[in-house]
Structure 1
Amino acid sequence: MKIALAQMNSGIDPKENARQLSSLIAQAAAGDAAIIFTPEMTGLVDRDRSRAARNISTEADDMVLLTARSEARKAGIWVQLGSLAVKASNNLEEKWVNRSYLISPDGEIIARYDKIHLFDVDLGPDESSRESSAYAGGHNAVVAPVSDATLGLSICYDLRFPGLYEALTDAGADILSVPAAFTVPTGRAHWEILLRARAIEAGAFVVAAAQYGQHEDGRSTYGHSIVVDPWGEILLDMGEGNGLGFCELDLRKVQETRSRIPAVANRKKFKMPVKMT
């Protein structure tokens, strides 16, 4: 399976982000990719939540989602839209959700995944994040078929919680998508290590499309969109800059690797530990 990864520098204007996405999908299709993966918050990167609120809408009205569906249909390509900030009609708290989409080559939404683990952290005296103050967390792990593969969905901070990826591979995932907008300090320290660990543990491909660079809202993201094979080898690292990268996935490697190291098959359920006093 030939895939494409979009490394983006999304800004505060969804119209401009939609324009860039349209071009990237067309380029991916022209390069014979079966599917394109885009980063977390493809449609809007804006930490000014008052300003962002003016650009966040429901699925039915989201121009970036509408663009992705239209371009997927036009190009005949799968689109794994890393995530969008959208209003959830069933959210009684009136919070947004950080939602990932899988869109088929006929433009239909095949799967939705709402980010489960929200990033609430202090990174230093001048930088903190409270994703949960504006976003509601999801509750369900999601897998979906893509051509001859099964795709497991996750988003950014989920990467630090291996239990989610155990659930995805238990449900049959052989490709794990990790769209992200990693900060520069945590990206340098942990990004590659965690992605390779998740691939090795799962015996699966990991595809991580990322945001990169200095954004209009003042934040900086790490980039280095990566594809890791089931043995933990890096097949693609896009480094710095923005654009499109291509990679071939040999899906036979999933079963080959799981036969050599049958960690998925050998997993055992166990009781919580007894605390000795």
Structure 2
Amino acid sequence: MKEDLRVSVIQMEARCGETECNLRRIAFFAAQARHRGSALACFPECALTGYSPKNAGALALPADGKECRYLEGLARLHAITLLVGMIERGRGKPYLTQMVFGPRGLIGRYRKTHLGAREREYFAPGDGTPVFHTPKADIGVELCWDAHFPGLSFALSRKGAEILFVPHAAPQRAGARETIWNRYLPARAYDNRVYLCACNLCGENGQGTQFGGGLLIAGPDGEIMAQRYSPTAGMLTATLSADMLNRYRADGDGEMESRFFPAFARVELYD
């Protein structure tokens, strides 16, 4: 990272079949994030469409449809990078997708590669692990269950990701979410020397499923910088230090606790 930057993670209710209402919520929080000085704002998995695997086909939207064009315009309007989750229409089964829109237009999309047990019947897995080059930082995305596979975080870090965004659509109550996240998300940040920013849906999806929320930002030292666990909609914002990140990524064999561990991995032994 060339300079310090502000990022925001958002938890919000996304009701299935109420796309226009979901877009209004996204627009509200995008404006709030920019007001706080954030250069990047991440919304939960399926924030645009709502999350309901059994109804995925009916909820799926095209990645080039009017809704995504609106989000692209929103990113331009606020000169911000927006990461927004949706169910994306595919040729067969739909995808769980996180769209990335920058101030100059669409940057790319990530399709969830590791599907949960309840998702495999209804969704197709993605087959790429891209790193997105945004105006302020190089970022990677992992969707919910993805983050339980350490190799994905490792691969994204080795490809140059400086921040990992981990949007969720997880129904556990807030207290359980805090316990689970604190067990493994800071470790993903520490082992791979990345900032990690996680968010979750909250409220009800309009079809009887409740989401408990959860927001967390961890540093490349594995320390939790900020967190919020509440069942209500909200946003968490933090300033990420470029100096801290770059110290870990500098060349040389410094003290063990300050090294960029992925650079020393013997990946030829892993398969």
- TM interval, shorter chain, is 0.7 to 0.9
| Contact kept? 1:181, 1:222, Cα under 8 Å | no
TM-superposed deviation, 1:222: 3.0
Give CA-to-partner distance per residue, 1:20-39, whole Å, 9 cap, x none.
11111111112221111111
Q: Which residue of 2 aligns with 1:27?
A: 32
CA RMSD, Structure 1 to Structure 2 (Å): 1.9
Name the CA shift for 1:261/1:253 in 2 (closer, same or farther; >3 Å).
Answer: same
The 2-side partners of 1:58 and 1:164 are apart by 26
The 2-side partners of 1:195 and 1:222 are apart by 17
**Count of aligned residue pairs for this structure pair:** 256
* Structure 2 unmatched runs, 5+: none
Q: Which residue of 1 aligns with 2:185?
A: 195
The 2-side partners of 1:181 and 1:68 are apart by 20
The DSSP-based 3-state class of the residue aligned with 1:71 is helix
Give CA-to-partner distance per residue, 1:171-194, whole Å, 9 cap, x none.
011111111112316625422222
The 1-side partners of 2:193 and 2:131 are apart by 16
Letter in structure 2 aligned against 1:4: S
Give CA-to-partner distance per residue, 1:52-83, whole Å, 9 cap, x none.
533322122252x23311111111111122x2
| Contact kept? 1:149, 1:251, Cα under 8 Å | no
The 1-side partners of 2:135 and 2:76 are apart by 16
The DSSP-based 3-state class of the residue aligned with 1:2 is strand
Structure 2 residue corresponding to 1:242, chosen from 208, 233, 238:
233
Q: Which residue of 1 aligns with 2:95?
A: 97
* Structure 1 unmatched runs, 5+: 121-128
Provide the TM-score with structure 1 as the length reference.
Answer: 0.86
Pair 1:16 & 2:21 matched: yes
| Contact kept? 1:5, 1:245, Cα under 8 Å | yes
Pair 1:118 & 2:118 matched: no
Q: Which residue of 2 aligns with 1:43?
A: 48
Percent identical among aligned pairs is 23
Q: Which residue of 1 aligns with 2:88?
A: 86
TM-superposed deviation, 1:44: 2.1
| Contact kept? 2:50, 2:86, Cα under 8 Å | no
TM-superposed deviation, 1:102: 1.4
The DSSP-based 3-state class of the residue aligned with 2:8 is strand
The 1-side partners of 2:41 and 2:133 are apart by 15
Q: Which residue of 1 aligns with 2:141?
A: 153
| Contact kept? 2:144, 2:168, Cα under 8 Å | yes
Name the CA shift for 1:34/1:70 in 2 (closer, same or farther; >3 Å).
Answer: same
Give CA-to-partner distance per residue, 1:112-142, whole Å, 9 cap, x none.
111000011xxxxxxxx2x111110011111
Name the CA shift for 1:188/1:245 in 2 (closer, same or farther; >3 Å).
Answer: closer
The 2-side partners of 1:252 and 1:176 are apart by 17
Provide the TM-score with structure 2 as the length reference.
Answer: 0.88
Structure 2 residue corresponding to 1:60, chosen from 64, 73, 80:
64
